[in-house]
Amino acid sequence: MVLSMLQRFLHILQMRI
């Protein structure tokens, strides 16, 4: 699902920050 991809992207962004 698209939501899953978005959540994964957000998680990666938060980890990078």
Query: How many whole angstroms separate alpha carbon 7 and alpha carbon 11?
Result: 6
Which token pair is 3? 């939501």
Q: Hey, what amino acid is at 13?
A: L
Give the rounded distance of the alpha carbon of 5 from its chain centre: 6
Query: How many whole angstroms separate alpha carbon 17 and alpha carbon 4?
Result: 20
**Amino acid 1: pLDDT:** 75
Give residue-wise pLDDT tens across range 1-17: 799 999 999 999 999 87
Number of H helices and E strands in the chain, helices first, is 1, 0
**Amino acid 17: pLDDT:** 76
